[in-house]
Amino acid sequence: MSNGNWRSLAKQVERVETRLYVEESLQAGVTLGLDHARAHFLRSVLRLKRGARIAVFNGRDGEWAARLDALGKGWASLVVGDRRRAQEPGPDLWLVFVPIKRARLDFLVEKAVELGVSRLQPAMTRHTAVSRVNQERLAANAREAAEQCERLSVPEVGEARPLFDIMGDWPTERRLLVCSERGAAEPLSVVLQTAAGCAQAPWAILVGPEGGFARSELDGLLKLPFVTPVGLGPRILRADTAAIFALACWQAFLGDGATRPAMRET
Ligand code: SAH
């Protein structure tokens, strides 16, 4: 992209209000210092100036208006103004996924955050194609996606662990929908439609690796009392597509996908 294009992109971005996730507690009048990377982003990428209005949230205290109070090379501070949105609990939905190649993994994390997951848990299986997971990158992508989509919280990102270690200390009240393209699993929509009329437990979705689950893994999963196998239709989906399909379907039946968009000023 040429310099001119970057500048016009930065201008467009500027028109949309910048939202930042911060760790600190939020209340009117407090001053927050930003780390080097975020100060650089505001100053050199977004080209914000002293006095610019931004929004901040921390996953606990709702969303607050803030003003860029001072910024220099690699440092910036904000002053917090009024609270604009109270904290609301989001849907309690975990996604357990098997790491895939980088570009697709970035995509998967971004979409899963937009689709409202509360926790992202990477799992290693027999056919995992990727041996190392860059957890910091996953967490940074999750944070950016949460900032962009106006969530009030950033999902937790678990450390990558072998699938059956994760199953070993699974909270058994949390139902796990295992997406399985083989065997006679009920369609996900049928399972969720039935569940929609019942008392709600917390949920999780497991999507397998590009190479599929090994037979023994699938057998092991199906023995677990909290597991329900589900199908996503007749086609074999890539792992990222399968995750998006399953999350969107869950949100439509049991989550906040059936509520109206929040009223916002345009
Ligand atoms: N290579 C495998 C396909 C793996 S697809 C094979 O051809 O057998 C990657 C993952 O997406 C699967 O492990 C499963 O969890 C999910 N998935 C893909 N298509 C699906 C479908 N139609 N129903 C349920 N799960 C599916």
DSSP state for residue 229 in the 8-state scheme: E
Output the CA 41–ligand 1 centroid distance in Å: 38
List the beta bridge partners of residue 231.
187
Average pLDDT, the chain: 91
Mutate to test the pocket of ligand 1, among 126, 176, 179 (most ligand atoms within 8 A of CB): 179
DSSP state for residue 257 in the 8-state scheme: G
> Quick one: CA dihedral 62, 134, 115, 246, positive or negative?
negative
Question: What pLDDT, on a 0 to 100 scale, did the predictor assign at position 263?
Answer: 67
> Which DSSP string do the residues of 8-76 spell out, in sequence order?
HHHHHHHHSPPEEE-SS---TT-EEEE-HHHHHIIIIIS---TT-EEEEE-SSS-EEEEEEEEEETTEE
The reply to whether ligand 1 has any atom less than 6 angstroms from the CB of 241 is: no
Tell me the mean pLDDT in the region 238-265.
89
The reply to whether ligand 1 has any atom less than 6 angstroms from the CB of 152 is: no
Q: What is the pLDDT of residues 114-171, one digit of tens each?
A: 999 999 999 999 998 888 899 999 999 999 999 999 999 999 999 999 999 999 999 9
The reply to whether ligand 1 has any atom less than 6 angstroms from the CB of 70 is: no
Cα–Cα dist 20/148, whole Å: 9
**Confidence (pTM):** 0.91
Question: What pLDDT, on a 0 to 100 scale, did the predictor assign at position 121?
Answer: 98
Question: What pLDDT, on a 0 to 100 scale, did the predictor assign at position 1?
Answer: 47
Question: What pLDDT, on a 0 to 100 scale, did the predictor assign at position 197?
Answer: 77
Q: Name which of 257, 260, 258, 259 is nearest 115 in CA terms.
A: 257
The reply to whether ligand 1 has any atom less than 6 angstroms from the CB of 236 is: yes
The rounded percent of the chain whose pLDDT value lies above 90 is: 80
Q: Name which of 92, 112, 118 is nearest 239 in CA terms.
A: 112
Please state, as a whole number, how many other Cβ atoms lie within 10 Å of the Cβ of residue 139.
Answer: 16
User: Nearest residue CA, atom 18 of ligand 1?
Assistant: 237
Question: What pLDDT, on a 0 to 100 scale, did the predictor assign at position 24?
Answer: 94
Tell me the mean pLDDT in the region 242-261.
92
Atom of ligand 1 nearest to the CA of 230: 24
Tell me the mean pLDDT in the region 245-260.
92
Question: What pLDDT, on a 0 to 100 scale, did the predictor assign at position 111?
Answer: 98
Size of the chain, expressed as the number of residues it contains: 266
Q: Which residue has the higher pLDDT, 12 or 215?
A: 215
- 189 three-class SS: helix
Q: What is the pLDDT of residues 44-82, one digit of tens each?
A: 999 999 999 999 999 999 999 999 999 988 899 999 999
Q: What is the pLDDT of residues 170-195, one digit of tens each?
A: 999 999 999 999 878 999 999 999 99
The reply to whether ligand 1 has any atom less than 6 angstroms from the CB of 247 is: no
Q: Name which of 71, 11, 81, 5 is nearest 42 in CA terms.
A: 71
Output the CA 89–ligand 1 centroid distance in Å: 31
Question: What pLDDT, on a 0 to 100 scale, did the predictor assign at position 7?
Answer: 53
The reply to whether ligand 1 has any atom less than 6 angstroms from the CB of 94 is: no
The reply to whether ligand 1 has any atom less than 6 angstroms from the CB of 255 is: no
Cα–Cα dist 233/252, whole Å: 17
The reply to whether ligand 1 has any atom less than 6 angstroms from the CB of 97 is: no
| Cβ-proximal residues to 213 (8 Å cutoff; 6+ apart), any chain | 125, 126, 127, 180, 221
The reply to whether ligand 1 has any atom less than 6 angstroms from the CB of 181 is: yes
List the beta bridge partners of residue 67.
53, 79
Full set of structural domains in the chain with CATH:
3-85 (2.40.240.20), 93-254 (3.40.1280.10)
Output the CA 209–ligand 1 centroid distance in Å: 8
Going through 46-168 in order, the beta strands assigned E by DSSP cover: 53-57, 63-72, 75-85, 93-97, 119-124, 156-157, 161-162
Residue 40 has pLDDT above 90, yes or no: yes
Cα–Cα dist 58/1, whole Å: 33
The reply to whether ligand 1 has any atom less than 6 angstroms from the CB of 214 is: no
Residue 251 has pLDDT above 80, yes or no: yes
- 160 three-class SS: coil
List the end-to-end C-alpha distance of the chain, in Å, as a whole number: 29
